Amino acid sequence: MIAQVMKVDKILEQSLLFDFYGELLTEHQKEIYERFIAEDLSLGEIAEEAGISRQGVHDLIKRCNQTLRGYEEKLHLLEKFLAVKDKVERIEQLLDQYNEEGAEELVRNIRKISGEIIEEL
Amino acid sequence: MIAQVMKVDKILEQSLLFDFYGELLTEHQKEIYERFIAEDLSLGEIAEEAGISRQGVHDLIKRCNQTLRGYEEKLHLLEKFLAVKDKVERIEQLLDQYNEEGAEELVRNIRKISGEIIEEL
């Protein structure tokens, strides 16, 4: 069970890092890594589709993981995104708790913009 | 005058791109480029301090400009930052216009968090 949870966490981390830094991989890396992340295919299936060896896919994914983590260590985009997301959620909680009559439009507008902030990132 | 304004704009752009992507340059590039941007030294002065040729400094800065712009084309961090900054300013304008008694704490709290969002980026 713990191994299962850790596997999900790792895939989630890989998937988030790919969202943030995927564009910095080569086209070939992007194509293979995306299949691994998004389509949840096995190494053997990806290897067969891409016409390379299973070991080649394994090495490429390992190298991509290192590259993506290296970018996060330098730019911290995922860390910053989670911090901003947390702050936007705090704004939304404050608005939830504020039920004054007459403030509906203010609350609605700020809520709309807060949501847009998250979409930008 | 127009040339002057364009020069300022270019330096501002270089400085912002360096803020976002400077960590992705090599240590050597970072050191030289930072002197050029932050200390506003001439190529000759930087060359003398670093013990390389003026042409070497020129080429390094040109290459860094290309590298930094290349990252922006792929990751759009500057573009996203400006979009989020714009939205935070819109939230602050809405709060400025909302003067209901009893809402002071809400307004103060949201303003504080909005400011923190900008600092995160």
For residue B5, pLDDT beyond 70? no
| A94–chain B nearest CA distance, Å | 7
Mean pLDDT value across residues B54-80: 95
Q: Nearest-CA residue of chain B relative to A26?
A: B74
For residue B33, pLDDT beyond 90? yes
Q: A11 and A53 share a domain? A: yes
Q: B16 and B55 share a domain? A: yes
Other Cβ atoms within 10 Å of A50 Cβ, number: 15
Q: Nearest-CA residue of chain A relative to B74?
A: A23
CB contact under 8 A, A116 and B77: no
What are the residues whose beta carbons fall under 8 Å from the beta carbon of A116, sequence distance 6 or more?
B87
d(CA B66, CA B60): 10
Q: Nearest-CA residue of chain A relative to B77?
A: A121
Q: A26 and A49 share a domain? A: yes
For residue A15, count CB atoms less than 10 angstroms from its CB and return exposed for 0-12, middle for 13-18, buried for 19 or more. Answer: middle
Q: B8 and B46 share a domain? A: yes
Structure confidence by residue, pLDDT tens digits, B87-116: 999 888 888 887 777 777 888 888 888 888
What pLDDT sits at residue A2? 57
Q: B16 and B52 share a domain? A: yes
Of A77, A84, A94, the CB nearest to B117: A84
Number of H helices, E strands in chain A: 6, 0
Mean pLDDT of chain B: 88
Residue A70 φ/ψ, nearest 5 degrees: -60, -40
Q: A49 and A24 share a domain? A: yes
Structure confidence by residue, pLDDT tens digits, A34-91: 999 888 788 999 999 999 999 999 999 999 999 999 999 999 999 999 999 999 998 8
Q: A60 and A86 share a domain? A: no
What pLDDT sits at residue B30? 96
Q: A71 and A82 share a domain? A: no
